[in-house]
């Protein structure tokens, strides 16, 4: 959730984005900042190097306790050989991607008007993944495959991945798992594949995501410039921050408040509705059992009715 500037190589400023009028918050504006995670030492000066740790020495428990829970960025070193990402590192060649199962899937691609333009200003096109790969192979520097819009299944539930990631990853596709061993008990909110070509580097601009990132570099270079959520008063934001949660999640006046985990109430409501459905299904089964004069049927109905009442109250 740390605001970051990502670039392929050398950083470029976002000239087009800078044309928008942005106001620096300052320290006296009404944003309640409860962030209590890691931050660079007081009294020191930027840039501060990010810790580099051999991935082979980090267990899932270490990863969570030292970095995720403390909100501390880390670069895991040692390469991808022998890891769950080795198949992608070795197997996702241009030829393989051009002919893979995802080649006919429609993907959303970020574009820019020229190689000196900026990404991160809301300019997109949709195209076949195979067509994007061909442009990528030619060295086209005006298109960038970024995070895909969230996919929804037939029951209206959000999916972890959309094409092409949904075709390239997962055990069924002989690709890296959606949840790598390093994640331990952490559950991924979203899995994406980023691809872009740039001879001199391109910037995605200063922004922040709403979830932690585990970024695995398969080719090329990537540079991140990070700012602690405690520094939001020094940022030129798009939108008006009204709260920073302890874990660094930012809420904006324009989009409304959420819990620290990002739920605006819809997830809790969906879980509650599911509990109501389960309770009613049990009541129906209990009534059937009682009608068939099964032993304990009446008691089961009473318990099911209490469960329905409780589920309804919670919803």
Residue showing tokens 């969230």:
150
Of 75-84, 175-184, 200-209, 238-247, the one with minimum mean pLDDT is 200-209
| Close Cβ partners of 156 (under 8 Å, ≥ 6 residues apart) | none
Distance CA 86, CA 180 (A): 12
Q: What pLDDT sits at residue 4?
A: 59
pLDDT digits (tens, 9 = 90+) for 97-144: 999 999 999 999 999 989 988 888 889 999 999 999 999 999 999 999
pLDDT at 31 over 60: yes
Q: What's the chain's average pLDDT?
A: 87
What pLDDT was estimated at residue 24?
Answer: 59
Work out the pLDDT band at 14, boundaries 50, 70, 90.
very low
Give CA–CA dist 312/51, Å, rounded: 49
Q: Binning pLDDT at 50, 70 and 90, where does residue 23 land?
A: low
Q: In the prediction, which pLDDT does 122 show?
A: 85
Reported as a single tens digit per residue, the pLDDT across 131-189 is: 999 999 999 999 999 988 877 777 777 788 999 999 999 877 788 999 999 999 998 98
- Partnered with residue 79 across adjacent β-strands are none
C-alpha to C-alpha distance for 135 and 111, rounded to whole angstroms: 12
Burial of 313 (0-12, 13-18, 19+ CB in 10 A): exposed
Rounded Cα–Cα distance for residues 262 and 245 (Å): 10
Alpha helices in 264-296 (DSSP H): 266-291
Q: What pLDDT score was predicted for residue 151?
A: 77
Cβ burial 20-36 (10 Å sphere, 16+ → b, else e): eeeeebeeeeebebebe
Q: What's the confidence (pLDDT) of residue 203?
A: 85
* pLDDT at residue 292, rounded to an integer: 93
Write down the H helix ranges in the chain.
15-18, 60-62, 86-91, 94-98, 129-137, 165-168, 266-291, 297-314
Beta-carbon contacts of residue 230 (< 8 Å; ≥ 6 apart): 33, 35, 39, 244
Contact (Cβ atoms closer than 8 angstroms) between residue 105 and residue 128: yes
Sheet with 143-145, side-by-side order of all strands: 124-128, 106-111, 143-145, 195-196
- Going by pLDDT thresholds of 50, 70 and 90, the confidence category of residue 17 is very low
Q: Lowest mean pLDDT of 1-5, 18-22, 61-65, 255-259, name the range.
A: 18-22
Helix, strand, or coil here: 16? Answer: helix
The span from the CA of 149 to the CA of 242, in Å, is 26
Per-residue pLDDT band for 22 (boundaries 50, 70, 90) equals low
- Work out the number of other CB atoms within 10 angstroms of the CB of residue 284: 11
Rg (CA), the chain: 24
Residue 25 has pLDDT above 80, yes or no: no
Entry pTM: 0.76
Give the closest residue to 192 by CA, choosing from 153, 160, 221, 219: 160
Question: Is the per-residue pLDDT at 234 higher than 50?
Answer: yes
Question: What is the percent of the chain where pLDDT is above 70?
Answer: 91
Tokens of 1: 């959730």
Pair 96, 90: CB distance under 8 Å: no
Q: Give DSSP secondary structure letters for 190-215.
A: -B---EE--SS--EEEEE--SS----
- 181 Cβ contact list (under 8 Å, min separation 6): 60, 84
Highest mean pLDDT: which range of 26-35, 39-48, 204-213, 287-296? 287-296
Higher pLDDT, 238 or 315: 238
């Amino acid at each position: 959730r740390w605001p970051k500037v990502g670039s392929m190589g050398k950083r470029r400023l976002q000239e087009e984005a800078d044309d928008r009028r942005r106001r620096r918050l300052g320290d006296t504006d009404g944003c309640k900042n409860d962030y209590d995670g890691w931050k660079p030492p007081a009294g020191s000066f930027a840039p501060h190097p990010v810790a580099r740790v051999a991935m082979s020495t980090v267990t899932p428990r270490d990863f969570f306790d030292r970095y995720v829970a403390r909100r501390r960025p880390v670069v895991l070193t040692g390469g991808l050989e022998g890891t769950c990402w080795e198949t992608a590192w070795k197997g996702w060649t241009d030829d393989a991607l051009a002919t893979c199962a995802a080649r006919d899937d429609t993907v959303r691609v970020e574009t820019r008007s020229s190689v000196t333009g900026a990404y991160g200003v809301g300019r997109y096109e949709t195209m076949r993944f195979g067509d994007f790969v061909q442009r990528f192979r030619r060295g086209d520097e005006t298109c960038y495959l970024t995070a895909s819009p969230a996919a929804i299944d037939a029951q209206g539930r959000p999916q972890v991945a959309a094409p092409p990631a949904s075709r390239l990853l997962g055990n069924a596709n002989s690709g890296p798992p959606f949840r790598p061993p390093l994640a331990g008990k952490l559950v991924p909110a979203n899995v994406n594949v980023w691809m872009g070509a740039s001879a001199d580097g391109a910037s995605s601009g200063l922004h922040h995501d709403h979830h932690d990132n585990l970024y695995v570099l398969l080719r090329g270079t990537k540079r991140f410039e990070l700012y602690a959520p405690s520094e939001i008063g020094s940022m030129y934001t798009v939108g008006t921050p009204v709260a920073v949660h302890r874990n660094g999640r930012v809420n904006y006046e324009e989009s409304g408040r959420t819990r620290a985990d990002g739920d605006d109430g819809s997830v809790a409501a969906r879980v509650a509705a599911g509990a109501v459905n389960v309770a009613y299904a049990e009541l129906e089964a209990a009534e059937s059992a009682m009608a068939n004069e099964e032993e304990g049927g009446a008691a089961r109905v009473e318990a099911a009715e209490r469960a329905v009442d409780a589920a309804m109250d919670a919803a």
